[in-house]
């Protein structure tokens, strides 16, 4: 992808200026490491984020609401059913009135489940499954959720446990603060503006070279915590929204952050997020598995509804590795021009570019991600709403150190098989701010002031990463992982120009 004008040269100049500035004093990576503590995968209570064994009696989780609640039991043993009871905890937040407790008790009683059959599953690895509807408990009370298996122990004839429980039950994530996401920032230093003079020398090809990101529905399931050991699988970010984010309202960004619909049977299902990078091209994640026939959905245009375009060709990076999500990028070609995109030979600049500088983004700098996923890990509500969230970049070496502590189900460190130089890690120590399933393929970006599009506050977005994978979503001490766009810029160029 060719940057407009001398923006590529400006990148180097910006990098030099930032590197000479005072380093940030807050060590994000160290804070992430401390935050995880004795729980390196940030799983919390058994069953709340990762599936837990459901063969040794009831499983209880306590949460202070407002909170999310959902329960799923699955496995290979027939004839089982599930009870899930919600009750007020003995200890309640100070100042909780009797009226609030009475109303909450009534809500919890109505929401509890009894004798729900665990029936043959339609999809996935488990032969039998029950999943409740997603619920929100709005009362400001502390609640205990208890799941009980009925009709058997959940084990097979040999005594091996074949039934698991997943019961997301946690407080609402707070809205995450906005950060300085100026291109090349190291905690707040502004960069020079992109001027008309700089853009005027851009080669003609630059007018249609832009990128888009997306993500796809992924049926892979993380392995559960076993005997206190972190046995996990990195999972792609399909089917969850930006966690802790806010609605995506910037009109320029709304032009290029798109939905990707994948055919499932006779229907199309929203599967990933993408980034339009040119009149006909979208950048996304390879693991989304998008093909010709994929539908690209743009955000509604006033008076014109939601434009939908069809993908006519999809190119996955030749070195993409499914097991590790290494080189997790793909480029889609649409059959028609993206709505609102500058026409061929137009002097109007695009709203987004791809990053070419290997030194950007800097460790500790603010970045923004956008996507269409659901509201929290393991939940199923809010899917399809455009949101964004700001996080901070964790340096490659520190990120490798964090993931080296975590073992996969085969016993190898999660960090194995990854090239740190091709990744960007970003998060916040306490969790609650992150991308998640459904955001895969979406953009991680910064913005640069420019004088081209007009207006004192006008900016242009620069995509620095593609949402790829993580251990859960928004967990304490665990950053999300993105494919570093600068590592693939030449490959993207070759696909777009083919």
Is residue 219 scored above 80 in pLDDT?
no
State residue 475's pLDDT score. Answer: 86
Give me the residue spans of the domains in the chain: 7-38+174-497, 52-167
Considering only residues 36 and 207, tell me which one the structure prediction assigns the higher pLDDT: 36
Is residue 214 scored above 70 in pLDDT?
no
Considering only residues 113 and 241, tell me which one the structure prediction assigns the higher pLDDT: 113
Considering only residues 115 and 11, tell me which one the structure prediction assigns the higher pLDDT: 115
Alpha carbon distance 325, 286 (integer Å)? 8
Mean pLDDT on 243-250 = 83
Burial 38-69 (b: 16+ CB within 10 A, else e): ebbbbbbebbbbbbbbbbeeebbbebebebbb
Which among 20-34, 216-230, 447-461 has the top mean pLDDT? 447-461
% the chain with pLDDT above 70: 77
Alpha carbon distance 426, 395 (integer Å)? 9
7-38+174-497 belongs to CATH 2.60.120.10: no
Alpha carbon distance 250, 271 (integer Å)? 23
Is residue 274 scored above 50 in pLDDT?
yes
Which among 3-12, 123-132, 189-198 has the top mean pLDDT? 123-132
Region of poorest pLDDT, from 2-6, 133-137, 473-477: 2-6
Considering only residues 4 and 390, tell me which one the structure prediction assigns the higher pLDDT: 390
Query: Model confidence at 429, in pLDDT bands (50, 70, 90)?
Result: confident
State residue 227's pLDDT score. Answer: 28
Tens of pLDDT along 306-344? 899 999 999 999 999 988 899 999 999 999 999 988 877
State residue 39's pLDDT score. Answer: 67
Considering only residues 496 and 45, tell me which one the structure prediction assigns the higher pLDDT: 496
Query: Model confidence at 496, in pLDDT bands (50, 70, 90)?
Result: very high
CA distances (Å), 141 to each of 112, 170, 244, in order? 16, 12, 21
| Closest listed residue to residue 442, CA positions, set 326, 296, 273 | 273
Name the one residue in this structure whose structure tokens are 């992924």. Answer: 218
Task: Give the 3-state DSSP-derived string for the chain, with helices as H, strands as E and coil as C.
Answer: CCCCCCHHHHHHHHHHHHHCCCCCCCCHHHHHHHHHCCCCCCCCCCCCCCCEECCCCCEEEEEECCEEECCEEEECCCCCEEEEEEEECCCCCCCCCHHHHHHHHHHHHHHCEEEEECEECCCCCCCEEEECCCEEECCCCEEEEEEEEECCCCECCCCCECEEEECCEEECCCCCCCCCCECCCCCCCCCCCECHHHHCCCCHHHHHCCCCCCCCCCCCCCCCCECCECEECCEECCCCCCECCEECCCHHHHCCEEEEEEEECCEEEEEEEEEECCCCEEEECHHHCCCCCCEEECCCECCCECCEEEEEEEEECCCCECCCCECCCEEEEECCCCCCCCCCCCCCCCCEEECCCCCCCCCCCEEEEEECCCCCCCCCCCCCCCEEEEEEEECHHHHHHHHHCCEECCCCECCCCCCHHHEEEEECCCCCCECCCCCCCCEEEEEEEECCCCCCCCEEEEEEEEEEEECCCCCCCCCEEEEEHHHHHHHHHHHHHC
Determine contact, residues 416/472, Cβ cutoff 8 Å.
no
Which among 91-105, 190-204, 229-243, 421-435 has the top mean pLDDT? 91-105
Is residue 415 scored above 90 in pLDDT?
no
Which among 40-44, 212-216, 278-282, 436-440 has the top mean pLDDT? 278-282
Considering only residues 354 and 196, tell me which one the structure prediction assigns the higher pLDDT: 354
Tens of pLDDT along 350-402? 889 999 999 999 999 999 999 987 667 776 655 678 889 999 999 998 899 88
State residue 38's pLDDT score. Answer: 63
| Closest listed residue to residue 467, CA positions, set 202, 284, 239 | 284
Considering only residues 10 and 287, tell me which one the structure prediction assigns the higher pLDDT: 287
State residue 21's pLDDT score. Answer: 31
Tens of pLDDT along 78-87? 999 999 999 9
Query: Model confidence at 22, in pLDDT bands (50, 70, 90)?
Result: very low
Length of the chain: 498
Mean pLDDT on 85-96 = 94
């Amino acid at each position: 992808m060719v940057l407009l004008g001398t923006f590529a040269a400006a990148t180097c100049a910006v990098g030099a200026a930032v590197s000479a500035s005072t380093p940030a004093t807050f060590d994000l990576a160290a804070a992430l490491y401390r935050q995880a503590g004795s729980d390196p995968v940030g799983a919390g209570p058994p069953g709340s984020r990762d599936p837990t064994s459901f063969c040794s009696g009831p499983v209880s989780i306590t949460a202070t609401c407002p909170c999310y609640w959902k329960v799923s039991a699955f496995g290979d043993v027939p004839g089982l059913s599930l009870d899930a009871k919600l009750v007020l905890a003995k200890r309640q937040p100070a100042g909780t009135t009797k009226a609030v407790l009475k109303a909450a008790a009534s809500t919890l009683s109505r929401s509890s489940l009894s004798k729900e059959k665990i029936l043959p599953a339609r999809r996935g690895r488990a032969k039998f499954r029950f999943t409740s509807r997603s619920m929100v408990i709005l009362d400001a009370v502390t609640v205990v959720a208890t799941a009980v298996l009925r009709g058997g122990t959940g084990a097979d004839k040999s005594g091996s446990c074949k039934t698991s429980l997943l019961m997301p039950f946690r407080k609402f994530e707070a809205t995450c603060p906005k950060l300085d996401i100026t291109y090349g920032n190291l905690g707040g230093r502004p960069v020079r503006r992109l001027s008309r003079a700089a853009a005027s020398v851009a080669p003609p090809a630059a007018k249609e070279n832009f990128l888009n990101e997306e993500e796809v529905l992924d049926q892979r399931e993380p392995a559960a915590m076993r005997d206190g050991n972190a046995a996990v699988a990195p999972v792609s970010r399909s089917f969850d929204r930006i966690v802790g984010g806010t609605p995506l309202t910037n009109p320029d960004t709304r032009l290029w952050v798109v939905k990707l619909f994948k055919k499932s049977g006779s229907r199309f299902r929203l599967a990933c997020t993408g980034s339009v990078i040119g009149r006909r091209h979208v950048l996304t994640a390879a693991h989304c598995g998008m093909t010709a026939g994929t539908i690209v959905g743009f955000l509604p245009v006033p008076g014109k509804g939601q434009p939908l375009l069809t993908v006519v060709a999809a190119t996955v990076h030749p070195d993409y590795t499914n097991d590790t999500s290494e080189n997790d990028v793909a480029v889609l070609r649409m059959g028609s021009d993206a709505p609102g995109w500058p026409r061929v030979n137009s002097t109007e600049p695009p709203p987004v570019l791809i990053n070419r500088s290997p030194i950007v983004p800097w460790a500790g700098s603010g970045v923004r991600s956008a996507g269409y996923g659901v509201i929290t890990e393991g939940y199923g509500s809010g899917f399809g709403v455009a949101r964004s969230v700001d996080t901070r970049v964790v340096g490659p070496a520190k990120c490798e150190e964090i993931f080296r502590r975590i073992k996969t189900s085969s016993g190898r460190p999660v960090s194995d098989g990854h090239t740190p130089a091709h990744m960007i890690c970003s998060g916040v120590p306490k969790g609650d701010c992150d991308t998640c399933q459904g955001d895969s393929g979406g953009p991680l970006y910064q913005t640069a002031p420019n004088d081209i599009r007009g207006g004192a506050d006008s900016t242009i977005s620069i995509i620095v990463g593609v949402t790829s994978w993580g251990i859960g979503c928004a967990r304490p001490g665990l950053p999300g992982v993105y494919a570093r766009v600068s590592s693939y810029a030449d490959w993207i160029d070759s696909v777009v120009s083919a």
